[in-house]
Amino acid sequence: MRASKTSSDSSLKRMIRLVKEADADKAPIVSLTDRWATWIVVIALVSSVATYLFTHEILRSVTILVVFCPCALVLATPTAIMAGIGNATKYGMLIKGGDIIERLSKVKNIAFDKTGTLTYGKLSIVDYKSFSSEYSDEEFIKILASVEAYSEHPLGKAITSYYKEKNDNQLLEVEDFTVHPGKGITAVLNSKNILVGNLKIMKDKNININNKDIIKISQDFFKKGCTVIYLSIENKLIGYVALSDILRLESKSIINYIKSQNINPIILTGDNEASASNIANKVFIDNVYSSLLPEDKMKIIKELESKNSPTCMIGDGVNDALALKYSSVGISMGAIGSDIAIEASDIALVSDDIKNIPYLLYLSKKTMKTIKLNVTFSLVLNFVAIILAMAGVLNPVVGALVHNLGSVFVIINSAKLFKTKNNIDLNNKTIYKFTNTNIKALDM
């Protein structure tokens, strides 16, 4: 036995390494209060000293020190953030940090994975066929289901579930199961090398697919928006299976809402061009990138981010982990999503229901408005109180009451976020259609 590569060189390990490296590329966001904290202290101390030098009244100077204490300013951001995160939790959205809300409120693009995000991810088999005289259709689907039984991809789960529902026979034992993210699967069955995947991996492995019947059948299914998976044994193409997915009922109205907020929706998918364009046409998404590997999705996200165009990525699979991590905000489908996707994301949708995305966008903006109101009120109150203390209108006792009044206002104003309800009407009759569809199939 000879090992050609160590586990650290595997595709999955490389993805995990890139996910960890992404943390260093995300610049920390400076909160509104941090921008003012230094200056307000300096202003207050200078005012206190200057007041004493001009008036020689120590009481006025002490009053300035009492009223300037920026408790309300310090509470302005964390109280609103906690309330916003708490409100999101009620709707099954787990936000991992306060700065995420600020980043989400500034996004200009939202990139969607297709399978399991815009669609239900519950694929059904439309057709399958063996091209080989050595294997019947039933033998072919049994071999395919046995290999896919080890896969976490929605396509694999659909194939395995279909076989188990139709047959009582046990699946075959598979060895050396390996996932090639964005391409397919390799395994060994009865000492024979098995390859399962899309056309790209078949071409990469030099599998002969020049059969006119195979090409015609594949193209017919592609035009219908289906995903076609091929299986080869010992470098010989054996057959195919065609699967279709169901568009989520709310997808079209969600995209419509996103466009109404001047946010650009994008599809980033590993599926073929025809399948991607079929979904794009149904939900009116202009920019579509198909046939993507995980690294391709990451490159597109990084390119958008480099153009000062903050992007939110929504996905569920291993293939989306890099894009989730490198985007300004990554949102994963909590229940059906893979572990690495959930780990890489900033927000997890526990119920796997994207209909809450519009409310999440609304809540992030409302939270930021609340923070800005809190900060503005705190600063105005502090500066007015300092001026009144300098003029001798306020004494230390009254100054303390004014100071506490600001803190109470900030807390009450932030607490209102807890009662915010999802009243967004997704049935808006104004349809924001696209005019120039930009369908791209990347061959990298």
Q: Look at residue 75 in the predicted model and tell me its pLDDT.
A: 85
What pLDDT is recorded for position 249?
A: 86
Identify the bridge partners of residue 331 per DSSP, sorted by sequence position: 314, 347
State the pLDDT at residue 310: 94
Residue 2, in any domain of the structure: no
Across 343-351, average pLDDT: 84
The total number of structural domains in the chain stands at: 2
Given pLDDT bands bounded at 50, 70 and 90, which one contains residue 38? low
| Same domain flag for 321 and 373 | yes
Q: Are residues 97 and 131 in the same domain?
A: no
Tokens at 160, concatenated = 């395995």
Looking at the domain assignment, is residue 436 inside a domain? yes
392 and 286 co-located in one domain? yes
pLDDT band at residue 431 under the 50/70/90 scheme: low
CA distance linking residue 21 with residue 19, whole number of Å:
5
Between 386 and 267, name the one with better pLDDT. Answer: 267
- Is it the case that residue 369 has pLDDT exceeding 90? yes
pLDDT bin (cut points 50, 70, 90) of residue 46 is: confident
Single-letter amino acid, residue 45: L
Q: What is the chain's mean pLDDT, rounded?
A: 82
Output 434 or 329, whichever has higher pLDDT: 329
Q: What confidence category does residue 412 fall into, taking pLDDT thresholds of 50, 70 and 90?
A: very high
Looking at the fold, whether 240 and 256 belong to one and the same domain comes out as no
What pLDDT does 111 receive?
96
Those residues whose C-beta lies under 8 Å from the C-beta of residue 10, and which sit 6 or more positions away, are 178
Give the number of residues written for the chain: 444
Rounded to a whole number of angstroms, the distance between the first and last alpha carbons of the chain is 33
Is residue 95 over pLDDT 80? yes
| Same domain as 414, residue 285 | yes
Joined tokens for residue 172: 């075959």
Q: What is the pLDDT of residue 120?
A: 82
Q: What is the pLDDT of residue 312?
A: 96
Give percent above pLDDT 70 in the chain.
87
Is residue 100 a contact partner of residue 325, using CB atoms and an 8 Å limit? no
In a domain, 38, yes or no: yes
Query: Of 78-92, 110-124, 190-204, 430-444, which gets the smallest average pLDDT?
Result: 430-444
Q: What is the pLDDT of residue 13?
A: 64
Let me know: does 162 contact 125? Beta carbons within 8 Å: yes
Exposure of 166 in the CB half-sphere (CA atoms within 13 A) = 13
The region of weakest confidence among 51-60, 82-91, 325-334 is 51-60
Statement: residue 416 has pLDDT above 80: yes
Positions marked active-site: 113
Asked whether residue 317 is domain-assigned, the answer is yes
Do residue 302 and residue 216 come from a single domain? no
Among 244, 274, 300, the domain boundary falls at 244
Q: Inform me whether the pLDDT recorded for 10 exceeds 80.
A: no
Provide mean pLDDT across the span 265-293: 88
Q: Which of 142-151, 187-196, 384-393, 411-420 has the lowest mean pLDDT?
A: 384-393
pLDDT at 19: 52
Q: Which domain holds residue 203?
A: 124-244
What was the pLDDT predicted at 437? 43
Q: What per-residue confidence (pLDDT) applies to 14?
A: 56
Q: Is 133 exposed, middle or buried (0-12, 13-18, 19+ CB in 10 A)?
A: exposed
CATH of the domain at 236: 3.40.1110.10
Mean pLDDT of 267-284: 86
The last residue of one of the domains, among 197, 216, 244, is 244
Give pLDDT, residue 353: 75
pLDDT > 50? residue 443: no
Section 52-61 average pLDDT: 79
More confident residue, 252 or 218: 252
Q: Are 361 and 58 in contact (CB under 8 A)?
A: no
Let me know whether 111 and 204 are in one domain.
no
pLDDT at 223: 77
Full-model pTM: 0.71
Structure tokens at 233: 């044994």
Is the pLDDT at 383 greater than 90? The verdict is: no
Same domain, 217 and 252: no
pLDDT band at 262 (very low <50, low <70, confident <90, very high): very high
What per-residue confidence (pLDDT) applies to 264?
A: 95
Assess if residue 8 is contained within a domain: no
Question: How far, rounded to the nearest angstrom, does the alpha carbon of residue 291 sit from its chain's CA centroid?
Answer: 19
pLDDT of 433 over the 60 cut: no
What does the pLDDT average to over 172-178? 89
Q: In whole angstroms, what is the distance from residue 109 CA to residue 378 CA?
A: 33
Over residues 8-25, mean pLDDT: 54
- Residue 85 counted as domain residue: yes
Quick: pLDDT tens for 234-247: 989 888 999 888 88
Do 322 and 399 lie in one domain? The reply is yes
Q: Are residues 198 and 279 in the same domain?
A: no
Give the span between the Cα atoms of 259 and 261, in whole angstroms.
5
Q: What is the mean pLDDT of residues 91-106?
A: 89
Residues 148 and 106 in one domain: no
Q: What is the mean pLDDT of residues 38-64?
A: 78
**Does the pLDDT value for residue 28 go beyond 60?**
no
Q: Find the CATH number of the domain harbouring 79.
A: 3.40.50.1000
Instruction: Tell me the range of 19-23, 123-127, 431-435 where mean pLDDT is highest.
Output: 123-127
